[in-house]
Amino acid sequence: MGVTAAAPRFLRPLAWATLVANIGIVLTGGAVRLTGSGLGCPTWPRCTESSYTPHGELDYHSAIEFGNRTLTFVLVAIAVATLVAGLLSGRRDLRWLVVVLFLGIPAQAVIGGITVRTDLNPWVVAGHLLVSLAIIGLAVLLLLSLDAPLPAPHGGWITGLAWAVFAAGWAVLYLGTVVTGSGPHAGDEDAVRNGLDPRSTSQLHTDLVFLFVGLTVGLLFALLAAGGRPRATRAVAVLLGVELAQGTIGFVQYATDLPVVLVGLHLLGAALISATMTWALLEVRHPARAAEITSP
């Protein structure tokens, strides 16, 4: 008998909204940093010492920072709706996922507050981004779990290689935040940097990118040689395409002194890397997923 414990139909658009909204908050957070608006609201949770909103003459930086904070309420609304739908689904695997996704919102609010209170400490800023990227990965896991609970994971060396790709991807994302913390886009002209040499950290980041891409190519060829796993092959191929696009943007932005438009696109690429490498890992690790969903 096939698995019939599909989630309620209305949970799917909410799961997509969760994914898109969290990618969106990464981009708006990036806009805050790239426009130097990180301290446009110089305190937290208030925007100023006396008000939760900017008052008096609303300057450019205050508008951008307050706008980013306001978008948190959109995330909260989506997270609450997703939480309720997941809890009503009757499935234990979905319940813990929607609870973790919901708790990610207040956690990010607290980290955001610490970011402001520490005057944009680059290590805290990095943590703020990494948590968002992790939430994006969890949103992908939710989407892939909707039709039926994920079956038992598949072992073997190909799955081990997929885990290596995933680990290398996270190393690349982390080193990317370290490079950013040493570079010029601090979020405020007076914000301190992490004190590391930008050239050295960029070189280490580049080396990890080559490792990441090489492992992904190896995984793709392994799946093609094994045959019979079109879903996993497609996911890994998409991941490789995103990696190549992201690498190209990274190289061009470095060679052109980090123009804000390209840095913003690179930030979008980081969000897509988190999503696609999670998708690829799950498709490789759970190859029976499609068969279990569609079996009579």
Runs of H (alpha helix) within the chain:
11-34, 60-87, 92-117, 122-144, 157-182, 198-226, 230-255, 260-285, 289-294
Residue 263 has pLDDT above 90, yes or no: no
Tell me how far apart the alpha carbons of residues 282 and 140 are, in angstroms, rounded to a whole number: 9
> Per the domain annotation, does 95 fall within a domain?
yes
> Per the domain annotation, does 17 fall within a domain?
yes
pLDDT at 134: 96
Tell me how far apart the alpha carbons of residues 221 and 215 are, in angstroms, rounded to a whole number: 10
Long-range contacts of 206-210 (CB under 8 A, 24+ apart): 206/250, 208/168, 208/171, 208/172, 208/175, 209/172, 209/243, 209/247, 209/250
CA-CA-CA-CA dihedral for 107, 113, 117, 118, to nearest 10: 50
> Per the domain annotation, does 270 fall within a domain?
yes
User: Pick from 11, 167, 153, 27: which is nearest to 83 by CA?
Assistant: 11
> Per the domain annotation, does 2 fall within a domain?
no
49 DSSP assignment? S
Q: Are 207 and 214 in contact (CB under 8 A)?
A: no
Residue 32 has pLDDT above 80, yes or no: no
Residue 291 has pLDDT above 60, yes or no: no
How much is the average pLDDT of 199-220?
95
pLDDT at 190: 60
> Per the domain annotation, does 263 fall within a domain?
yes
Residue 289 has pLDDT above 70, yes or no: no
Tell me how far apart the alpha carbons of residues 19 and 9 are, in angstroms, rounded to a whole number: 17
Q: Are 54 and 47 in contact (CB under 8 A)?
A: yes
| Per-residue pLDDT tens digits for 35-75 | 766 565 666 665 665 565 565 555 556 666 666 777 788 88
Structural domain that includes position 154: 11-294
> Per the domain annotation, does 3 fall within a domain?
no
Give the total number of structural domains in the chain.
1
Residue 293 has pLDDT above 60, yes or no: no
Tell me how far apart the alpha carbons of residues 263 and 267 are, in angstroms, rounded to a whole number: 6
pTM: 0.87
Tell me how far apart the alpha carbons of residues 248 and 243 are, in angstroms, rounded to a whole number: 9
pLDDT at 148: 77
| Per-residue pLDDT tens digits for 96-138 | 999 999 999 889 888 888 887 887 788 888 898 999 999 999 9
> Per the domain annotation, does 6 fall within a domain?
no
> Per the domain annotation, does 1 fall within a domain?
no
| Per-residue pLDDT tens digits for 177-197 | 998 888 766 555 666 777 788
More confident call, 147 vs 77: 77
Highest mean pLDDT out of 72-81, 139-148, 234-243: 234-243
DSSP string, 100-164: HHHHHHHHHHHHHHHHHHTTS-HHHHHHHHHHHHHHHHHHHHHHHTSSS---PPP-SHHHHHHHH
